[in-house]
Amino acid sequence: MSGYVTRNWPVSTPARPSRSIARVALAKRQDALVKAPLFSGLPKRQLRSIAELTVVTTYPEGTEIVKEGSIGSGFFVILDGQARVLKKDRTVARLSAGSFFGEVSLLDPGPRTATVVAETPVQCLDLAGRDFVDVLANDPVLAMRIMREMARRLRQSEKPLIA
């Protein structure tokens, strides 16, 4: 499948050696990743090292991209198409191009908190958790930036205590 293009998104196998991704495709992947707050503040060099690990995958209509309760460690950015988010078989959100999900599972591959189902054919930029952890292990500065962003997001999600 390497080199096949669907709706301007190059579909390829995992890009272990970064030289296998064309420069334009890599730039598009970086642009997609930066939409997620976890990656939005990263310098281009670090964003590129993560983008090099991604793949573009097409999920046919009706496909469960992730399933609530299943163990998973992948992060996804929707590039094209529409999906719905279900919790206990109830639709709680709709996703479209630019939406992302699964960022917490990159660091904690626990049970998924929701099911995401493709309502139309969906193209996603996929990042496997094991690849992400390998990058963090080899780049302590990146690991610190990611930890700080996760701590910031956790702090924002907690309600302040009333004195």
HSE-CB of 8 using CA atoms within 13 angstroms: 7
Question: Exposed, middle or buried, 127 (CB in 10 Å: 0-12/13-18/19+)?
Answer: buried
pLDDT of residue 163: 55
What pTM does this model have?
Answer: 0.78
Segment-wise mean pLDDT, segments of 10 residues, the chain, 163 residues: 44 46 90 89 91 95 96 93 96 94 86 95 95 91 88 76 59
Give ∠ CA 75-100-58 in degrees, rounded to 5: 70
Helices of type H across the chain: 23-33, 37-40, 44-51, 129-138, 140-157
53-80: b (≥16 Cβ within 10 Å) or e = bbbbbbbeeeeebbebeeebbbbbbbbb
The architecture that CATH gives domain 4-153 is Sandwich (2.60)
Using CA atoms, how far residue 146 sits from 6, 72, 155, in Å, is: 31, 19, 14
pLDDT of residue 84: 97
Helices of type H across 34-139: 37-40, 44-51, 129-138
pLDDT of residue 162: 62
